[in-house]
Each structure stands twice: as C-alpha cells, then as structure tokens.
Structure 1
Amino acid sequence: MKLTFNLRRLMQAIEVMEPEKKGTFTLALQETHIDKISAELEQGKDVELKDVEVESGLLSYKGRHVTLYIKANGSSARFHISDCSTLQSMRSSGRFERYVVTNNTSGEFIVDTSYGETKARLKVCQNCLRKLNYKGCNTTTQIGPIVQHFNMVEFFSTYSSFFPHMPSRLAETAKSGYTDDWSKVSSHYRVEKNFECEECKVDMRSHRALLHVHHISGVKSDNRPSNLKALCIDCHSKQPKHEHMALSHSERQTINDLRKAQGLFDVLNEWQELFDYSDPGVHGVLHACQQACLQRPEINYFVEDNFGELAARLELAWPKHKFGIAISSNDIDDARNNGWDVVGINDFLDSYKSKSYNLRY
C-alpha cells in the first residue's frame, strides 16, 4: 500500500520556533510486527474442528472471533458463525473434513473446485443465525432478507464485546477525505456542544476521547456546522455505513456507566430504547424477550456484594427475580456467588422458552 506523507506543517512549525540549530529528519522504512495468528486467520487457516472453541455460542480460535467453513465443498459451502446444530452434529459424528477458520471480513472465501482453488462468496448458515437469534431471525424477523444482506463486518462488530482481539480491518478508524484542519474543527465543535452527545444526550466531558464528530452526509471534506454532529462512540458506531466501528466491551460499559450516572436510564418505557442503549451482542436476547412477552429488563445493572460494593455488571437484569444476562464470564461467576442466577446469551437463547416464564411477571 502506498503511503503519502506531507511534512509541510511540521517544517513550518520548526520555522516558527526558530531553533538555534535545525536537526535533520530522515524517514526510514521500519517493518512492524504482525501477529502470526492474525495474519493466518486473514488468509484462512486449516484446523481440526476440535481446535475451534465456543464462546457464548460464537466461534473462537485462540481468542479471535472467527467463521468456519469446509473448503472442499466449493462454492456450495455455507460458512458458520456459531456453534449451530450442524456443527454439533459434525462434532459428534467425528467428521474429518478440511475445516478452515478465518476472520477475513471481505465476504470472500478460498474454496476448492475441479479447477483448483478460487475465491467465492458463500452464504451464511441459517442454523447459525437462528442459534444467535441474529437480528431476531428466530423470533421477530424473516430470515431470508438477513441471509441475503448478511454483512461480515457488521456481524463481527455486533459481537465485538465478546473477544479481546478483533479483525484488523475493523480497527481502521477512518478513510481519507478529512481536511487538514479537521482536528481543530472537530475540537471546536465538541466545545460548542459542551461535550454532549447530540443523539443520546450523555455528557462526555470526563471521557472526551470517546466523543466523536460525525459527518452527517458522509462527505468528510464538508465541515459546515449543519453537516456535523457530536456523537459518543456508541451512537457513532450505529450510524449508517459505520459497521466498521467495533467497540470494546470496556468502551461500551464506560458509555453506559455515564448514561446511568446521569439518569438517562431512569425511564426506559419502550423496547426500542433498550435496543438503542444496550450492547448489540445481547440484541438477540432482547428480540426473544420481546416475542415471549417478558417484562422489560434493566440494562447495565450493578450487582452489589454484602458490603455494598460492585460485585458484577450485568448487560440485562430482572432485579425482582435476581436473574440476568452477562457477557463477561467473570461477571457471571461473581453474580452467582452473590446469589443471582446469571447466564450468557447462548444459555439463555437455548432454554428461555421453558425456563423464563416467571419473567413475564
């Protein structure tokens, strides 16, 4: 990839400072270390099915969120995104096909054909989608359009809170097109808006780095105030064509901690508000709860220990029943140790129809 550097402003700054002696600046090529596993997964790595781990129903390889497919099936193969009934059947029957795991977000997969290896756009496994109730496909939404318009980047971003490592392409924060004075423009705009998110109204003064300035039209060179909007990183990631913005679990929790402290969660009367504020990774659970007519849960709930200290943080909670959903396994264990019944999204979706009837009241 060709990189272009413009050092004009740096040299102008040197002139303004009027140093007694000007130094010399040398630009040298330095190789950066690329994690071996990440590089292998980008290209696709041959594995045995037993080496693929399951985290909350999602597929994982050495801490990396991955998809899986059988290369020998060619362009007719379906790629898997969760530990669905199909994979469970393969595992139990001891099948030994050539499995490939990847976190490449291009949507193209290297498959075997009679003519040799080639790239193909495969379809997502419908059983996997239903396993996760992705976008409500198992409860409230038709699955056909979800399969047809499945977006790999959006999928990885949806579950970014579940994994410490994300595909490198999701870490790309911005494309070219910003003006040279964008840093100054965005800084001044945030000051003018008193560091408040114009979408959810959370005050970000204490975490200013998590407040972005969004170009409404998508044209990054148009810095007119009418085209700008101050958004917390969570609201920014939910804007159209921003699927590449993958937030960490801690970033989402920080935003929701601020919202909670500022009273923005005091009155949430509609299901849509829960979808707007909760981690996207639990939206499948919310779709199921809504369809089953369960009571609306509280979001970002703090479980306290016997001393009134924070013991665990739950993504969704029904305090009356001391029941909740958490993403972190540590939070699940800590909440259970303090008398709560807490499960992950996979356990809930597998059994909610038979075990959560009491949550209706």
Structure 2
Amino acid sequence: MKLSVSFKNLKAAVSVMGPEEKGLFNLAYQETSIEKLDLELAIGKDVELKDVDVDSGLLSYKGRNVSLYIKANGTSARFHIADCKTLQSMRANGRFERYVVTNDTSGEFVVSSSYGETKAKLKVCQNCLRQLNYKGCNTGTPISSVVQQFDMAEFFATYSSFFPHLPSRKAETAETGYTEDWAKVSSHYRVEKNFECEQCNVNLRSNRSLLHVHHISGVKSNNKASNLKALCIDCHSKQPMHSHMALSHSERQLINQLRQAQGLLGDLSGWQEIFDYSDPGIHGVLHACKQFGTTLPEVAFYIADSFGDITAKVELAWPKHKFGIAISSNDIEDANSEGWHVVTANDFLADYRSQAGNLRW
C-alpha cells in the first residue's frame, strides 16, 4: 500500500517557531514492534508471587507498574496495587494461588466463574490504598470515596516516576480530535507566550518539547485563544481529565530543576503549593505530613558534597533535620553518604506517625 505523507503543517509550525538554525530532515522507514511482555501484561500474565517486585512498595513486573489479583476468586476478588499486609501475609504463609498481573487500565479483569472465564469489574484492595495513603485515605479522606472513584489509568500515571517503563496508549484510543492546523496553532501560541507555562511560570525556551498547549474546555476543535493555555507537561498532567498523562521521573525532575534555577520554588508558602509543585507519587507522604502538622518541606532540594557539587536530588527535604524523601535509589544512597537521612515514600509511610512527629519543629 502506497502511503502519502504531507509535512505541510509541520513546516509551517517550524517557520512560526523561528529556530536559530534549521536542521536537516530525512524520512526513513523503521519497523517497530510492541514487546511481547507488554502484550502479555495487557491481557494478564500468570506469575508466581515471588516474581513480583515490591521494593518501592508498589507492584512491579520487569519494570512495569502492574496490578495483581487471583483469577480463581471470581467476581469477589480484589485487585492489589501495592505490597499491602494482605500480600505480605500470603507470602509469609506460602500461599501459591494462580496470581495474575496486568497493566490494563480498563478496570476489567478476566476471572474464573462457573461458566468459565469472564470479564468483571473488581474493586481495589483497601489495604493497598492505606499502605500508600492514596489521596489521603488514612489522614482525612474517606476511603469509601477513594475506592468508589478509583481509576487505574490515573493511579499508574500518579506513580509513573517509580517505573522505567511507562504505560503506552492503546491504538483504539489514539484518535486525537485535534484540527488539521493544530501543529501551527499550538506552535504560534507557544511563541506568543514566550514558551512560558501560564500556570507555574517556568520558561521552557531551552526545552520546548516540555511545553504543551492545553484546551481549557476540553474541546480540542476549539482553538480560540480564550480556550488555550500554555502549560508545562507537569502542570498539564495535573489538569482535570488529564490524570492519565504519565511522566517519567527524569521529566518531572527536569521541570523542577528549571523551576529551581528560575527562582520559582524558593518561596512556597502553603501546603497547596507544595502539592502543586511536587511529584504526585509522594503526595501520600504530604497528606500525612499535613495531617500531623510538620513544618513545610522544600520541594526538589539538591544536596551537595564537600566540594559543593550536587550529589543527590530529593523530592522533599527538611534541611534543618537533614531529612528527606526521594524516589531514586541512587539519590537516596548518595544523600545518606553525605550525612542525610533520606528514605523512600514507602519507608516513610510504614511509620509515618513517628516520622512526621519528628518534623513538627
């Protein structure tokens, strides 16, 4: 089949962007394929419990964020998203049911029934939610509402910084709804806004791919200026109906690195600002800290070695206590080697009452 490809809109967008130097562009065919493991996880893969990685407190299979359930339990099964006390008990007691892991975000699971295998909507395990203090379910938010409104795509995106392999969009959901001239419209709008996020004010002229143009109403065919807003990918992912947007740890760290360099993180004066600028994967920690009245942490704090070189980047820090929360194991190790006490979000939440209590002054 002959393919006809037009780059008219792309060239127009490049013209509007006004690059300092135009590069060369060559179109070459390159065959790509979805890894076999991703195909298996999309439909559910039988595994042994010992093969599921729980080091981060979340459930991971070969670098992919997954949920886990027991197919034989039928429609009464609960699916797990964290290494909760239920799974810990199963491992301790040597239970060897037929576990299934999946990264499907539809909320439907293949279970066994008297009629054979069927798809069913299952409820999330409440112990898992409490393990993560997800949306503050331990510290103020009624857990019943968290269970009722739980969305798998939102959950995976919330913790995307913890996993090297991000979930990808399915082909059937890939239709964009954008107008044909969207590339030109969005490029022109970003130029007009000087490549600056209209929410957090970070300037992304040096990292233009990290700036998106958001449709405020959600109607992607409405390109009126009053319906557009230039947003960095972090702010964009936190907009209503955009909780499915998964960002890597490096992307979130880079955004905060730029904010830090531009003086945007130096005077965060309240909890809401801390939530707005921090990685959503550590919001469970923030809910606990807010509930227990800790002093405000610093977001995206850099720890230097004796030579003044940055050795570790932590998501949250209480410099007075030399205490912090980090996602990267390398950052944790490097920070602790400099005399800090930096832990994972999971370790903090395992004993958050005493941990938070020590940070009140």
Q: Same fold (TM over 0.5)?
A: yes
Specify the SS of the correspondent of 1:265: coil
Aligned to 1:230: 230
Counterpart amino acid of 2:50? K
Instruction: Give unpaired runs (5+ residues) of structure 1.
Output: 14-26
- The separation in 2 between residues aligned to 1:245 and 1:194, in whole angstroms, is 24
- The separation in 1 between residues aligned to 2:72 and 2:158, in whole angstroms, is 29
The one-character-per-residue Cα deviations of 1:50-97 (angstroms, maximum 9, x if unpaired) are 111113210011111110000000011000000000000000000111
Q: Is the 8 A contact 1:153 1:170 kept in 2?
A: no
Taking structure 1 as the reference length, what is the TM-score of the superposition? 0.91
Alignment of structure 1 residues 178-217 onto 2, 5 Å:
178-217=178-217
1:180 deviation in Å?
1.4
- The separation in 1 between residues aligned to 2:2 and 2:78, in whole angstroms, is 40
- The separation in 2 between residues aligned to 1:308 and 1:127, in whole angstroms, is 43
The one-character-per-residue Cα deviations of 1:153-191 (angstroms, maximum 9, x if unpaired) are 000000000001122228999632211111111111111
- The separation in 2 between residues aligned to 1:194 and 1:172, in whole angstroms, is 35
- The separation in 1 between residues aligned to 2:345 and 2:171, in whole angstroms, is 25
Instruction: Give unpaired runs (5+ residues) of structure 2.
Output: 12-27
- 1:59 equivalent to 2:50? Answer no
Counterpart amino acid of 2:298? E
Aligned to 2:21: none
Q: Is the 8 A contact 1:170 1:244 kept in 2?
A: no
1:217 deviation in Å?
1.2
Identical amino acids, percent of aligned pairs = 71
CA separation of 1:170/1:326 partners in 2, compared to 1, >3 Å: closer, same or farther? farther
Q: Is the 8 A contact 2:302 2:310 kept in 1?
A: yes
Aligned to 2:334: 334
- The separation in 1 between residues aligned to 2:160 and 2:318, in whole angstroms, is 24
Specify the SS of the correspondent of 2:246: coil
Aligned to 2:359: 359
The one-character-per-residue Cα deviations of 1:19-48 (angstroms, maximum 9, x if unpaired) are xxxxxxxx99x8632211111111100011
Specify the SS of the correspondent of 1:55: coil
CA separation of 1:148/1:255 partners in 2, compared to 1, >3 Å: closer, same or farther? same
Alignment of structure 1 residues 37-56 onto 2, 5 Å:
37-56=37-56
Taking structure 2 as the reference length, what is the TM-score of the superposition? 0.91
CA separation of 1:332/1:170 partners in 2, compared to 1, >3 Å: closer, same or farther? farther
Specify the SS of the correspondent of 2:226: helix
Alignment of structure 1 residues 184-333 onto 2, 5 Å:
184-333=184-333
Specify the SS of the correspondent of 1:301: strand
Counterpart amino acid of 2:205? R
Counterpart amino acid of 2:329? S
Specify the SS of the correspondent of 1:209: helix
Which of the pair has more CA radius of gyration? 1
CA separation of 1:280/1:9 partners in 2, compared to 1, >3 Å: closer, same or farther? closer
- The separation in 2 between residues aligned to 1:237 and 1:249, in whole angstroms, is 13
The one-character-per-residue Cα deviations of 1:195-254 (angstroms, maximum 9, x if unpaired) are 111111111111111001111111111111111110011111111111221001111111
CA separation of 1:250/1:31 partners in 2, compared to 1, >3 Å: closer, same or farther? closer
CA separation of 1:332/1:153 partners in 2, compared to 1, >3 Å: closer, same or farther? same
Q: Is the 8 A contact 2:167 2:246 kept in 1?
A: no
Greater alpha carbon shift after TM alignment, 349-358 vs 334-343: 349-358
Alignment of structure 1 residues 8-157 onto 2, 5 Å:
32-157=32-157
- The separation in 2 between residues aligned to 1:7 and 1:129, in whole angstroms, is 47
CA separation of 1:156/1:9 partners in 2, compared to 1, >3 Å: closer, same or farther? closer
Between Structure 1 and Structure 2, how many residues are aligned? Answer: 343
CA separation of 1:229/1:94 partners in 2, compared to 1, >3 Å: closer, same or farther? same
Q: Is the 8 A contact 2:289 2:356 kept in 1?
A: no
CA separation of 1:355/1:241 partners in 2, compared to 1, >3 Å: closer, same or farther? closer
- The separation in 1 between residues aligned to 2:308 and 2:328, in whole angstroms, is 21
- The separation in 1 between residues aligned to 2:5 and 2:248, in whole angstroms, is 33
Counterpart amino acid of 2:242? H
The one-character-per-residue Cα deviations of 1:113-162 (angstroms, maximum 9, x if unpaired) are 00000000100000000000000001121111110010000000000000
Aligned to 2:177: 177
